[in-house]
Structure 1
Amino acid sequence: MNERRYYSQPGGLPGQTELLSSKAVFTTAYAVIPRTVMTDIVTSVLPFWTQTRAWMLSRPLTGFSETFSQYLMEVGPGGGSDRPELDPRAEAAMFFVEGEAVITLSGQEHSLRAGSFAFIPAGSTWTLKNNGSSAVKFHWVRKAFQAVDGLEPPPVLFAHEDERALSPMPDTDGKWATTRFIDPDDVRYDMHLNIVTFEPGATIPFMETHVMEHGLYVLEGKAVYRLNSDWVEVEAGDFMWLRAFCPQACYAGGPGRFRYLLYKDVNRHANLW
């Protein structure tokens, strides 16, 4: 199997001689936040987190994401939080891209490293610590859990990408495949956080248009993405938000694999306002 790589180098500041032009774009159908704008000056600090900063890639906002927020977290040595989540409605899906951390939940410690995944149900009491000598970096997706009367809440889940087999899309000869951390048939979960992998030359051969909202963070490689009526070139470290029903397609031009972390809301009726 090819060595897995997870982009994890945000921060810094462009030099004074750099051009102002960028592929950053914000529309009512989609947004592209390239890695070049994820600098030191756009980070946030969070209550009850120490030695930590966050790049907030999406948040519920009129004309922007409606179902989730997504942070790229950087926790320095000795840092972390005893009160990481202040909203009892919020469930968490996390994917680690660098360093090693320990999450303590219900008195049990779980060690996480690059490639680790964690799902923490809403209302849980948990902590996260970096006991190592280098920074821990991870994606943190927060969503208000949609409970269903008569359906038990989803259980906690810890896993690693190495433990999950690639699920190829039909009729693609394995060139387009998905790593699923949550069973897609388990309706207790109202969100998924997957890894999508394209081999060089693979494509989404039609304009997907569907009810799921997406957050996509490119972990590896580069590709050309069709978003609504535009073609956008993206690479490792770029983030895309796609509104529900935004037409989308992709061509992975290579030379290496193209892989991204994909959020989507699933398994619930549409809200009726």
Structure 2
Amino acid sequence: MSNGKNYFLLKGGHPPETQITTTRAVFTEAYAVLPKGTMMDIVASFLPHFEKTRCWILARPLSGFAETFAHYIMEVQPGGGSQFPEPDKGAQAALFVIDGEITLHFNGKDHVAKKGDFVYIPANMPWTIKNAGDTTANFHWWRKAYEAVEGLPYPTPFIKNDADVIPAQMPGTDGRWATTRFMDPNDLSHDMHITIVTLKPGCTIPFPETHVMEHGLYVIEGKGNYLLNKDWIEVEAGDYMWLRAFCPQACYAGGPGDFRYLLYKDVNRHPKLSFR
């Protein structure tokens, strides 16, 4: 059953020879923009130990850029999946289902995740995934090496649906700017947050946010104008943005509908120093 929310569904494909080459794709020292048109069949990846599965890798650890995480869009055909999806037992996983259903096994039992479900699996917890349905399943998958802290327990696994989480309203916006927080912001055992930011038509982030958190943003609905460092760039559903730490950012929601994006950021830890 649908949860009533809209999420952009990536379908790959291949552009015609008549299409012009100029796009909004850009890669700079401070940020990158991957428009939805860059995510075609030709750039899809295949992973070891996965069957009937392909993915688009949007972010990966890279010297001088995305230092803390990897972000995939997964497409799993009926009967596909993996008994060994995670090659690094020190990596935690977060998944967000945008279409179809997936069956996950972790913490000793099966869990069926459907459209709008957000799943968190801590590091050192084995898990498997299978598409037991008769339609293609699509989901986002974030991987991050967990930064353990003495005296803090590892986070516990959970599943929450977007429709069941009450968005936190930003002060002074009357709900026009709100954030759906899947992780408890007061739980310091988490070293990353995945949220959905929603801006109503005409709403703005009215100042250039400049902060230590690295960001990955995937637009799931609507369109907007985003300030990235010194550049204003128009983005729409299906586009991905990569922001280095301290890259200034702000935006205007372009309307006519809500502007919504999935947001990754690293949190709750001291910056690592180059000496011991």
Same fold (TM over 0.5): yes
Contact preservation (8 Å) 2:224, 2:251: yes
Cα displacement string for residues 38-92 of structure 1 (whole angstroms, at most 9, x for unaligned residues): 0001011101100000100000001320000000000001000000001011101
What's 1:218 paired with? Answer: 219
- Aligned partners of 2:158, 2:188: CA distance in 1, in Å? 15
Deviation at residue 3 of structure 1 after TM alignment: 4.1
* Equivalent residue pairs, number: 272
Matched, 1:132 2:133: yes
Is the contact between residue 222 and residue 254 of structure 2 (CA under 8 Å) also seen in structure 1? no
Cα distance in 1 for partners of 2:63, 2:28 equals 12
**In the alignment, which residue of structure 1 is the partner of 2:167?**
166
Q: Percent identity?
A: 57
Matched residues in 1 for 2:115 and 2:32: separation?
27
What's the offset of the Cα at 1:106? 2.5
Partner of 2:152: 151
The equivalences for 1:238-249 within 5 A come to: 238-249=239-250
Cα deviation, 1:184-207, whole Å, max 9, x if unaligned, reads 010000001000001000000000
SS at match of 2:144: strand
Q: Is residue 2:111 matched to residue 1:110?
A: yes
For 1:45 and 1:91, the matched residues in 2 are separated by 20
8 Å Cα contact 1:10-1:237 kept in structure 2:
no
Instruction: State the alpha-carbon separation in 2 of the partners of residues 130 and 58 from structure 1.
Output: 24
TM-score, normalised to structure 1's length?
0.98
Task: Give deviations 1:146-194, integer Å, cap 9, x for gaps.
Answer: 0001111111111111220011100011000000111001000000100
Equivalent residue, structure 1, for 2:44: 43
Contact map agreement 1:223 1:235 (CA 8 A) in 2: yes
Cα distance in 2 for residues equivalent to 1:147 and 1:166? 28
In 1: Cα distance, 2:153 partner to 2:10 partner: 39
Do the aligned residues in 1 keep the contact of 2:200 with 2:259 (CA within 8 Å)?
A: yes
- Over aligned residue pairs, what C-alpha RMSD do you find? 1.0
Distance 1:153 1:57 in 2: 27
CA distance in 1: counterparts of 2:110 and 2:157, whole angstroms = 13
**CA contact 2:5–2:163 (8 Å) conserved in 1:** no
* Unmatched 5+ stretches in structure 1: none
Residue type of the partner of 1:224? N
2:267 is aligned with what amino acid?
Answer: V
TM, length-normalised to structure 2: 0.97
Q: Which residue of 2 aligns with 1:89?
A: 90
Give 2:64's aligned residue: 63
Question: Which residue of the partner structure matches residue 266 of structure 1?
Answer: 267
Q: Tell me how far apart the structure 2 counterparts of residues 193 and 123 of structure 1 sit (CA, whole Å).
A: 20
Deviation at 1:107, TM superposition (A): 2.3
Structure 2 residue ranges without an equivalent (≥5): none
Query: In structure 2, how many angstroms separate the alpha carbons of the residues matched to 1:63 and 1:105?
Result: 34
Structure-1 residue corresponding to 2:29: 28
Say whether residues 1:19 and 2:20 are aligned partners: yes
Tell me the amino acid that sits aligned with residue 173 of structure 2.
Answer: T
Give yes or no for contact 1:10–1:35 (8 Å, CA) kept in 2. Answer: no
